Structure 1
Amino acid sequence: MNLQTIKQRFGIIGNSATLNHALKIATQVAPTDLSVLIEGASGVGKEAFSKIIHSLSSRKHQKFIAINCGALPESTLYSELFGHTKNAFTGATTERKGYFETVNGGTIFLDEIGEMPSKLQQFLLRVLEQGEFVKMGSNKVEVTDVRVIAATNIKLLENVQQGKFREDLYYRLNTVPIKVPLLKDRADDIHILFRKFAADFAERYKTSPVRLDERAQLLLENYTWPGNIRELKNIALQISALSETKSITAEALLEYIPKALD
């Protein structure tokens, strides 16, 4: 499957060299069972890369689940991943199977892996190295065959050096690193993405898409985009919904991205 087909299938827009390089690595590593660490700022589309890897792998007909390691308390995250027995803790009225059991044979995407509590890091390492885990409240060793794809929006190696993340787990996860580029480093793709978001809005609400004049396009391409693709999409939707005209000037665009003045 060539890159253009993959982009169409997964809704990835753009043709920058950095984006294509990241996609190429994803397609090359997909048929293997190697662990992958996807690095990139919030909003660049890291989860899309994990889905590409899963869909092009031998596990594609099995389950795929994504979980944000920074969104749950430690005990809840443990239960989500590894499960718990009945009465393992207050309120555990029934046994619960964790994802390493229910997704057996498939792929688990661990987003924001740098936020995983240190205690859980050792249990994840055991899964990666031995394919084993233990439910909360149990002594029974369970076996699993799950591919783990992790992602981070921080420089995880710095956390390792500061003692905040296990070094052995880092290198176990980072077998193949994929760096997803920032939107500001994909200048040629920015206007293409804007047009796509504006066209999608117009199609959904049966109207004409907004269009940027030349100066507005330059402003868009030179903005730093701290929120990356997510921020660009929000701005495209805001302009589409709120602008009284379909032709957008640079001055009008500044109402939506005032940080560009800084």
Structure 2
Amino acid sequence: MNTSILVVDDDDAHRGMLRMMLQSWGYAVDEAVDGDDAVTAVHNKAYDVVLTDVRMARTSGIDALKGILAYNPALPVILMTAYSSVETAVEALRLGAYDYLIKPLDFEALRHTLQQAVEHSRLSVENRELRRQLSEAAAGPAILGRSKAIDDMRGFIATVAPTEATVLITGESGTGKELVARAIHEGSERAQKPLVVVNCAALAENLLESELFGHERGSFTGADKRRDGRFVQADGGTLFLDEIGEMPLPLQAKLLRALQQGEVQRVGSDTPIHVSVRVIAATNRNLREEVDQRRFREDLYFRLNVITIEVPPLRARAEDIPLLAAHFLQRYAERNRKTIKGFAPQALDAMLRYPWPGNVRELENAVERAVILCTGDLITGRELPLSIATAEEEPAATPPPDTGAGSLAGLSLDELERRAILDTLHQTGDNKSEAARRLGITRATLHNKLRKYGLE
């Protein structure tokens, strides 16, 4: 679908010229001859950008701007005028105009401004969609994502959750296996009963046995009273055994008996206790290989592997990164009492390039760090960890040997200025205010030069 632009101008010739030029650039163009007509058009159709003259016979561009933004504050409106009035420009920008161009138009500047405005419009739509999805996800265990892999997994969870089947969740560390387990529990008839979580890698063998099955008083040193294990605590509900591949072999046999017989025995007791527990296990290991290497019992593997759900790594669903990042931004901004609107484009690009070996957990940690360090309205590449901010950047070209003043010979003054701006922006981490200060120019002048050299 073509990007749609509304051109507003009471000069038929100028409006026609703009229509032909914009169409040659691939835009779909509608026209209005007055500010009132423009406001009506915006009510009747969704546009990506409005390009309007300021001085028109009936309703001015400034009045049209007010009416358009009152209806759709996110719609970029670009004003153009033959009168380079500073007061008009200031008023337009104060009212929310996206930009302000002087007639006769610099067509390259117009083209560049339109490209930026379209990108701004696209990001606004994406942000609204992200907020909608976050709102929908707030009611329960949120497996966030709009990728096919996540949609398929959510559908499979919806099928499996209402059953009593044992589920084995596989996937790399940090992919969100516990979140999947919680979604299964919440979708089951056991949802009103406890979901009890045990990390099998966190405890030594003797302590893990007591953690799972409980113990009698005096059954080992330090056992000063009887204690129920996690199986009993989960009776009627769900027991989630995380990192099941780390469980010692001797304890695997006792777990298998508990799964098959539906009963457990406290350490130091011969009395069985009947329990009704659904078991969900998770691992980042290949249990089939662990069985082949005799590090995991084959009978337990088959008992656990009734239903398998594989959680995809984050690098396999990169389209979910903006939604996940927005979710974590909202969480940590609220927690740290900060007002941050979102991510700058270069920060989002860096996150999309990065391979995320630590998966969703690494993304969450990176966003939390960025929120803490952020001092502005947007998170930029400066707040992200260096490994993420510089992910897959093209290696810098090897500079030519320094031969003194002659090394710049043959370069035009424009090219020298362009290089100076690029080097300064790189040194300041794309901080335009600081770059302007170092270059000894105003921020507005820097903005104009960036446009001139196609750097913005």
TM superposition score normalised by structure 2 = 0.53
Distance 2:357 2:256 in 1: 33
Map 1:1-262 → 2, pairs under 5 A: 8-209=139-340, 211-250=342-381, 253=384, 255=386, 257=388, 260-261=391-392
Give the letter aligned to residue 350 of structure 2: L
The 1:248/1:139 distance shift into structure 2, 3 A limit, reads closer
Separation (CA, whole Å) in 1 of partners of 2:327 and 2:235: 37
The one-character-per-residue Cα deviations of 1:243-262 (angstroms, maximum 9, x if unpaired) are 34434445664636267259
Q: Is residue 239–residue 256 contact of structure 1 (8 Å, CA) maintained in 2?
A: no
Q: CA deviation at 1:25?
A: 1.5
Tell me the alpha carbon deviations over residues 133-180 of structure 1, each in whole angstroms, 9 at most, x when there is no partner. Answer: 222112222222111000001111111110000011011101000011
Q: Any conservation in 2 of the 1:60–1:106 contact (CA below 8 Å)?
A: yes
The letter of the residue matching 1:201 is Y
Structure 1 residue 60 displacement after superposition: 1.4
Contact map agreement 1:66 1:109 (CA 8 A) in 2: yes
Distance change >3 Å, CA 109–CA 187, structure 1 → 2? same
Deviation readout 1:23-68 (Å, 9 max, x if unpaired):
2211111111110001111111111111111111111121210000
Which residues of structure 2 form unaligned runs of 5+?
A: 1-134, 394-456
Q: Distance in 2 between matches of 1:135 and 1:65?
A: 17
SS at match of 1:110: strand
Aligned identity (percent) is 43
Residue deviations 1:96-152, cap 9 Å, x none? 111222321111000000001111100111111111222211222222211100000
CA positional deviation for 1:196: 2.2
CA distance in 2, matches of 1:256, 1:198: 19
CA contact (8 A) 1:114 1:165 kept: yes
Cα distance between partner residues in 2 of 1:6 and 1:252? 27
Q: Hey, what's the Cα distance between the residues in 1 that align with 2:342 and 2:184?
A: 35
Counterpart amino acid of residue 331 in structure 2:
D
TM-score (norm 1): 0.90
Measured against aligned partners, the alpha-carbon deviations of 1:70-94 in whole angstroms (never above 9, x if no partner) come to 1001111101111111211112121
Tell me the matched-pair count. Answer: 259
Gaps of 5+ in 1: none
More off after superposition, 76-85 vs 214-223: 214-223
The residue identity in structure 2 corresponding to 1:197 is F
Aligned mates of 1:6, 1:261 — CA distance in 2 = 32
- Report the Cα distance in structure 2 between the residues aligned to 1:226 and 1:87, rounded to whole angstroms: 45
Compare 8-17 and 144-153 and name the one that shifted more.
Answer: 8-17
- 1:192 to partner: Cα distance: 1.7
RMSD (Å), alpha carbons? 2.2
